Amino acid sequence: MWQVFVPLLAIVLAIAPSGARAQAAKVAPVEFTRGDDELRIEVTDLSPRFLDFHAAASAPGVDDERRWQLWQERYGFAAVPPTAEGQQMARRLLEQAWPRYGEALPIVRQGAAAMRPDPLETLRAVAAVLQPDKPVHVRVIAYVGAFDGNAFSYGQDGKPVVAVPLEMDERQRGAILPHEMTHAVHIVTAGLSGGWERSIAATLMQEGLAVHVAREVVPDRDLAELIEYTPGWWAQVQPKRREILRGILPALESSDGQTVFRFTMGQGPNGFEREAYAAGWWVIEHLRGKGMSLAQIARIPEAEMPAVVRRAIEEMLGGAASGFSGRE
């Protein structure tokens, strides 16, 4: 069951059916731009498209199968991996969220302009930490999700994209948005592809950096609120630190979608979800302890990440971590 106030901070791609018929039926989004030449957000607000779908799917006689067809034809946007499994997940999320959409309609009707915290101000706060030396223009997609707290980010045609649910609680968004904006800036500073398939080393570095930066931007939040999805997960993985680090070592160069899923949304070698997030936090913590700033870490090229991560983990397992207490 999805948990409110517990963010899923995964880089995942939205998948939607293609085809002229499906595209022609979709209502145009609202689009606007804010910021300047250095830091800018270009907003695509999908709320009109969702409202059109919801009205059609609320008509008398619409059953589950027809509702799914209407979702694909009129909306078709979900925070799921770009795979056949992701398509199945999208349908399950729709079925779970459908009874609750009525309560979200007042917020959805306000659209992206009413979103808080302000995505542009969050981008500025993240940029103050990572100090990008080139312009960062982020496409922000405001969408209606499934009450699962799943903002996400990716790269498209060389530009970072951050997708943020409109129905998300403001406090939850305040924890998640700095994480996703860090991914956006990181794509620019390190020249990352921003794709779903990337090495496990790159995955854990991206996620670890994002949690560390988020903690700088919102220092009043507990670390668990910034890193976990399932309540209690952070307390469970900390005593397994060495086992998780050992378990991820053989997979650092792997980049296939199945392995990425296993270390992020699936069950890792030690039986936990999100083992790349835990390892990522520890690797970035280790690099910072050796004197690197977050801005320097954000400039490590993607091709060098496996070697950097392997060296950091081997150093931690070689004795530097022997006194780890299992506490934050």
Answer yes or no: do 185 and 214 share one domain.
Answer: no
Answer yes or no: do 301 and 227 share one domain.
Answer: yes
Report if residue 24 sits inside a domain: yes
Report if residue 195 sits inside a domain: no
Vertex 281: Cα angle to 314 and 224 (nearest 5): 145
CA-to-CA dists, residue 151 to 147, 257, 273, angstroms: 11, 19, 18
Answer yes or no: do 234 and 176 share one domain.
Answer: no
Answer yes or no: do 174 and 41 share one domain.
Answer: yes
pTM of the model: 0.87
Q: How confident is the model at residue 77 (pLDDT cuts 50, 70, 90)?
A: very high
pLDDT tens digit sequence for 298-323:
999 999 999 999 999 999 999 544 33
Which pLDDT score, from 0 to 100, does residue 58 have? 98
Rounded Cα–Cα distance for residues 320 and 186 (Å): 28
Q: Domains in the chain: how many in total?
A: 2
Question: Looking at residue 9, what DSSP letter applies?
Answer: -
CA-to-CA dists, residue 172 to 64, 167, 324, angstroms: 30, 10, 30
pLDDT tens digit sequence for 108-133:
999 999 999 999 999 999 999 999 99
Rounded Cα–Cα distance for residues 47 and 114 (Å): 12
Statement: residue 184 has pLDDT above 50: yes
Which pLDDT score, from 0 to 100, does residue 323 have? 36
Report if residue 11 sits inside a domain: no
Mean pLDDT of 208-237: 96
pLDDT tens digit sequence for 11-67:
333 444 444 344 457 999 999 999 999 999 999 999 999 999 999 999 999 999 999
Which pLDDT score, from 0 to 100, does residue 194 have? 84
Mean pLDDT of 74-84: 85
Answer yes or no: do 163 and 207 share one domain.
Answer: no
Q: How confident is the model at residue 148 (pLDDT cuts 50, 70, 90)?
A: confident
Report if residue 2 sits inside a domain: no
Q: For residues 196 and 159, which has the higher predicted lDDT (pLDDT)?
A: 159
Q: Average pLDDT, whole number, for the chain?
A: 89
pLDDT tens digit sequence for 243-290:
999 999 999 999 998 899 899 989 999 999 999 999 999 999 999 999
Which pLDDT score, from 0 to 100, does residue 195 have? 80
Sign of CA dihedral 191, 205, 273, 255: positive
165, 190, 215 - which closes a domain: 190
Answer yes or no: do 260 and 119 share one domain.
Answer: no
Contact 144, 108 (CB under 8 A): yes
Record the tokens describing residue 293, joined without a space.
């700033």
Contact 277, 209 (CB under 8 A): no
Which pLDDT score, from 0 to 100, does residue 234 have? 97
Mean pLDDT of 146-169: 91
Range of the domain at 62: 20-190
Q: For residues 185 and 152, which has the higher predicted lDDT (pLDDT)?
A: 185
Report if residue 13 sits inside a domain: no
Which pLDDT score, from 0 to 100, does residue 11 have? 32
Statement: residue 325 has pLDDT above 80: no
Report if residue 89 sits inside a domain: yes
Report if residue 156 sits inside a domain: yes
Which pLDDT score, from 0 to 100, does residue 319 have? 56
